[in-house]
Chain A
Amino acid sequence: MDENALILDASRGDLEAFNRLVLAYQDILYNQAYRIMGDKDSAEDATQDAFISAFRHLSTYRGGSFKAWLLRIITNICYDELRRRKRRPTSPLEPLDENDEEVESPSWLSDPGERPEEATERIELSNAIQLCLGNLPIEFREVVILVDIQEMDYAEAASVIRTPVGTVKSRLARARVRMRDCLQKHRELLPASIRLMGESKV
């Protein structure tokens, strides 16, 4: 059955049809949530909430890219959660060192001694990217995730965040420059092939 038929059935209350759409899009939505939120538990919660919200508000879907519609829902849910956390900050998850100071490096999440070297490198790079993504303002972060991780074109990304294509273009450029600066600060976390990134005058 094609996507439009499933959406139509789901909008009439067919939960089974909607669950087929869930299976088709859950990786994309979870990935989006994970990149925005930065941790798996929050990403899971956001993904579940997004699908519940999508089912309940399916009548507001007015055609177009269903993927973009779902991504907009999950992005908004993640924003709301991040704003809530900002209003009510909680204890950081980072461990403390012997001086009772937070270990900011995300490398504590990995266990290099138990993994092959390549896997360790990949995990560290992933952690470094996630750290730098987390440091970006939300409006920059979402554009990087949509274009570089979800591999959307500018028009699709603009439809998700409901901004002009020109805004996507400028935000993405600024976000990439910030990502470059951030990754250069965490060179020790990067694989050798990436460490040699050019240092140009800005």
Chain B
Amino acid sequence: MTTPITPRDWEFFSAYLDGELKDKEKKQLEDRVRKDENLRLSLESLQQVRAVIRSQPIQRAPRNFTLTPAMAGMDKGRSQAAPVFRVMRLASVLATIFLVVISAGNLLANRMQPVQVSQSFPQQPAFGMGGGGGGDSESEESLSVPEALQVEEQLTPEVSDMAAEMLQVQPLPAGTESELKAAVPNPTPTPQPPAETLRKAPEAGQPLEAESDEIEGAQTRVSTITLIGGLQIILAILAIITGVLAVYLRQSTR
């Protein structure tokens, strides 16, 4: 007896050869094959095809397919870090350059400072004489000390020394005092009003205004010096941080 082979039969043959049929299905198929010559031949042909395909040797890889970091995309981090590294390096260099320029400028300014102070010294006697209230050198000194102390409070120790030096009135040369006393008819010593009052009083005159300008100038210079000092510190910190970051990025992306 021969029966046409259906797609379902081929599925059973195929699964039978692969051992994927249940015991019951397997037994039924074996019974049918035993009775049907066409089924038997079909099963054998499929068995041969399967054997032929399975006889094929494994194609061995002709080379190793191991990955390099570039293949694995591990250079991505490196390429992403590169712009950051360049920015850090540039920032470090710029900060260092500015720091050097500002420091050099500041140093030059400090060296020029004593020259300016000594130039103002000849004006000191006129400053004291025209005050109207200043009779002796003691009172002249007492005029400037409160102001100097006021300024001193705002200064750093080194800068305050410099400011105090600038504000300090030179003692008059010997003999000048007696000459001055003679020149003034009634040298009645009066209590020294505060600098603010002097500044506002119209009778204070030009010398007091000059003194006030000098103090303000000194304050401005002091605040400028403080500002420059702060800027130097900030630039130094910036240069160090960006430099360290640049070195770190350089090392980590190698």
Residues in chain A within 8 A of chain B (CB atoms): 13, 15, 18-19, 22-23, 26-31, 34-35, 40, 43-44, 47-48, 51-52, 55-56, 125-126, 129, 144, 147-149, 151, 153-154, 169-170, 172-174, 176-177, 179-180, 183, 190, 194, 197-202
Contact = CB atoms under 8 A, between A and B. Distances in A.
Q: Which residue, of B4, B13, B14, B44, has the highest number of chain A Cβ atoms within 10 A?
A: B14
B61 A47 contact: yes
A31 B11 contact: no
Interface stretch (B67-75, B115-123, B132-140, B178-186): B67-75
Interface string B47-58: 011101111101
A169 B41 contact: no
A144 B53 contact: yes
Main secondary structure of the interface of A (DSSP, over half): helix
A201 B56 CA distance: 27
A180 B46 contact: yes
A23 B71 CA distance: 16
A180 B48 CA distance: 9
A23 B54 CA distance: 23
B54 A148 contact: yes
A160 to B, nearest CB: 16
A200 B53 contact: no
B44 A198 contact: yes
B41 A199 contact: yes
Nearest to A155: B20
Interface in B1-38: 2, 4-5, 7, 10-11, 13-15, 18, 20, 38
Contact of A27 (B13, B48, B60, B67): B60
7 contacts: A125-B52, A129-B52, A170-B7, A176-B14, A179-B49, A180-B48, A201-B5
Given A153-B20, A170-B11, A148 B44 contact: no
Given A29-B61, A126-B56, A201-B2, 20 more contacts: A19-B67, A27-B60, A30-B60, A31-B60, A48-B71, A55-B72, A125-B55, A149-B56, A154-B18, A170-B11, A173-B10, A173-B13, A173-B14, A174-B10, A176-B14, A176-B46, A179-B49, A180-B46, A198-B45, A199-B45
A25 B48 CA distance: 29
A127 to B, nearest CB: 11
A180 B38 contact: no
Contacts of B45: 180, 197-200
B80 interface: no
A173 B38 contact: no
A19 B66 contact: yes
Contacts of B50: 148, 176
Given A31-B59, A198-B45, A47 B65 contact: yes
A66 to B, nearest CB: 16
B20 to A, nearest CB: 5
B14 A169 contact: yes
Contacts of B52: 125, 129, 183, 190, 194
Nearest to B48: A197
A151 B58 CA distance: 11
Contacts of B53: 129, 144, 148-149, 179
A51 B67 contact: yes
A153 B14 CA distance: 12
A200 B42 contact: yes
Contacts of B66: 19, 22-23
Contacts of A56: 72-73
Contacts of B175: none
B67 A22 contact: yes
Contacts of A148: 50, 53-54
A149 B49 CA distance: 12
A26 B20 contact: no
A171 to B, nearest CB: 10
B66 to A, nearest CB: 4
Contacts of A18: 67, 72
Nearest to B19: A153
Given A26-B61, A27-B60, A52 B72 contact: yes
A163 to B, nearest CB: 15
Contacts of A44: 62-63
